[in-house]
A and B are shown apart, each in its own frame.
Chain A
Amino acid sequence: MGFLKTFVLGGIHPPENKLSAGKPIRSLSVPVQVVVPMGQNLGAPSKPVVKRGDKVKTGQLIAEAGGFISSNVHSPVSGTIFKIDNMMDASGFRRPAFIIKVEGDEWMDGIDNTETFVKDVTLSSEEIIAKVKNAGIVGMGGATFPTHVKLMVPPGRNAEYLIINGVECEPYLTADHQLMLEKGPEIVVGTKILMKALKVNRAVIGIENNKPDAIKLMRDLTAEEEGIVVQPLKVKYPQGGEKQLIKAVTNREVPSGKLPIEVGCVVQNVGTAFAVYEAVTKNKPLIERVVTVTGKALENPSNLRVRIGTPVRALVDEAGGFPDDTGKIIGGGPMMGKALATLDVPVVKGTSGILLQREEAAHRPVEGPCIRCSKCTQVCPMGLEPFLLSRLARVGNYEAAEGEGVMDCIECGSCQYTCPAKIPLLDYLRLGKNKVGVLIRARTKR
């Protein structure tokens, strides 16, 4: 098999459990009511442009970007704005959202809602970025960073590589894998559009070696494309992390506290590439996404294409109903996802998966004392010392934690996963990051 590329520092290999692998993507029918949160991206929440009682069509702009790092929000259905109110989000907090009562499915004029494949794009870089911005596209891997901001290369920097992230290193999730299998040609066109927007001539599609069918398909599709290479990667978590993927593909290291553009790389998820394809060739805003609904107790783990704002309950029902033996519902993958407070929360732009954990797997083991085995240090992909950082956060010495690089933590959870004493290392690291973030903000304000 030879040596496959991967990142150097740390990393783990949790059981893959890709239960829904190979299950074709099914479209979920439009629900009777959707809840569309205004803040669906990293950064500033969007500002509403419609009011209560307005009739909206599918794909109509309902909230516009509320700052530089912000994105537009479009109505995923056609119907009436029933209410603009604070609604419960994934963590149980009430945040502003649109509640739209669905009436039929009437699309906005100018949106091509067909499956016809468009291969050629003649737009310029600026036009593409404007279209991506208008379509409200954000990073679909889960971090939801607005894509148009990533595409605008700051002056003085030069993008050399576009890296398409088809790694999907999280256990259980298969949405990106299935999207590559079913929408391969579209993703390749999306990649070409992104290359054009960034004015780069080299693109690498990174795919982990546990998806040989996707690697083969993408290789076949890009055989005649100039500058696009498919790079198989060794299976290792957290390879889907931006910095880890850049290290694995280009052997470059993003400096601490800097963005990938510093080393000439821009990373986009395959889901984002597909959304960009739809936005640019078909004027279709980001109003639906593929979500993996999975879990060991679930009858029929599936990959579903759903409208943004659909309640999670509808997805679980489609995948065989809510099993009795459920201890925890996680939005996202098992490693980085967050537990959901209820099943009534909506699917948002960053929801890559819904995982239902069984009761026995849902609870945390009892914490023991640190035995100084240094396993956490060995697996940390950022080269940090989680045992030390968690200790510093626990005793409240946040200045020292900052000095030890707590802000470089990507919250992948490898340390906590591997800890034989079951210490909640990531919890303390997150606490440390929160507190240090407050310290840094206070310092810059002064």
Chain B
Amino acid sequence: MDNVVFISMLVLGALGLVSAIILYFVARKFKVFEDPKIDEVEAVLPNANCGGCGYPGCRPFAEVTTKKAKEDKSLDDLLCPVGGNDVMKMIADIHGLSIQERDPMIAVVRCNGTFAHSPEKVKFEGVTSCSFADALFAGEGGCQYGCLGLGDCVDACGFDAINMDAETGLPVVNDKCTACGACVIACPRDIIELREKGPKDKRIFVSCVNKDKGATAIKNCDVACIGCGKCEKVCEFDAITISNFLSYIDFDKCRLCRKCVEVCPTNSIWEVNFKPRKPRPEKAVKPKQNSVNVATATLITSQKIVSGTKNTERSNIDKSEN
């Protein structure tokens, strides 16, 4: 009986030993060298795996940065939008390189077709998916370029940075936005754009993507860009171009002088987070504190339009109050 136990132990022990030796040599032979810097880089990355950098996740991005650092000695065309300059700096330190500082970006919803500005003409019943509705019809307000308000961007956001405003029917981007670009891809109408956050979050942009002729555009929405060209003429920095009856402000050239905002006849150019130009005591609507986003401004203007005030200057003061 003792003999059986002894023999089994011996056989199994010998088997284990032989296997261990084989495994040791196999592991030596097929060893894959991995740069330890990849692990270091991955450790400083946000690990959101959002894909905003253009690579499938944080680990692949770490591999790419390590490879680029070794081959090109530069990290200039790589950016983790979530981590921003801080994280890129840390990565550069690991590799002993330096980086160019980049201005942080934010997602901007370029549509102001609220229920008030672009009243419902047809009613949509069906699945709540923008990409489905986009293939089916122009939109409840009649604008074939405008926001459908069914929330594909909200579903796409992995940072809880965008949500629908029930009162306006438009998405609202909040501070959590990391400019990963998921909503930009999700929007079937290319309404959301990544723009520079701007100094102290101040930015100016055209809140419309309607490429129709002015008369047609204004028929469907009070605040559509009609492509009149006033902003292009008034701009001293060549930042504004008009194509297809639509104005576009280049954020690299824009110096935030706000002249275009003043001349826009349809209030489609937005200024965000500016101080009011002339404080007016009689102003009724007090915007919420700490609301540093576009769509709050949107909401306020919509209330203005509803109450019949269409004074450009006053609306702009409202906008810049938050």
> CB within 8 Å of B: which residues of A?
86, 88, 91-94, 338-339, 341-342, 363-364, 394, 424, 427-428, 430-431, 434-435
Contact = CB atoms under 8 A, between A and B. Distances in A.
Interface in B202-220: 212, 216
Nearest to A424: B127
B12 interface: no
B44 to A, nearest CB: 31
A86 B210 CA distance: 13
6 closest A-B pairs by beta carbon, nearest first, are A92-B138, A431-B132, A427-B127, A91-B137, A364-B125, A93-B144
B212 A94 contact: yes
A431 B138 contact: no
Contacts of A424: 126-127
A8 to B, nearest CB: 31
Contacts of B125: 363-364
A364 to B, nearest CB: 5
Contacts of B138: 88, 91-94, 341
Given A92-B142, A341-B137, A341-B142, A427 B212 contact: no
A430 B135 contact: yes
Nearest to B141: A92
Contacts, number: 51
25 contacts: A86-B216, A88-B138, A91-B136, A91-B138, A92-B138, A93-B137, A93-B138, A93-B144, A94-B212, A94-B216, A339-B137, A341-B137, A341-B138, A342-B121, A342-B122, A363-B125, A424-B127, A427-B126, A427-B132, A428-B127, A431-B127, A434-B131, A434-B132, A434-B135, A435-B131
Contact of B212 (A86, A91, A435): A86
Given A93-B137, A341-B137, 15 more contacts: A86-B212, A91-B136, A91-B138, A92-B138, A94-B138, A94-B212, A341-B122, A363-B125, A364-B125, A427-B127, A430-B132, A430-B135, A430-B136, A431-B127, A431-B129
A363 B135 CA distance: 20
A186 B125 CA distance: 42
A339 B216 CA distance: 22
Contacts of B121: 341-342
A427 B136 CA distance: 10
A435 B129 CA distance: 12
B122 A92 contact: yes
Contacts of B212: 86, 94
B120 to A, nearest CB: 12
A427 B142 CA distance: 21
Interface in B117-164: 121-122, 125-127, 129, 131-132, 135-139, 142, 144
A430 B126 CA distance: 11
A431 B131 contact: yes
Contacts of A363: 125
B125 to A, nearest CB: 5
A339 B132 CA distance: 15
Nearest to A329: B122
A172 to B, nearest CB: 20
Interface in B153-178: none
B131 A92 contact: no
A346 to B, nearest CB: 16
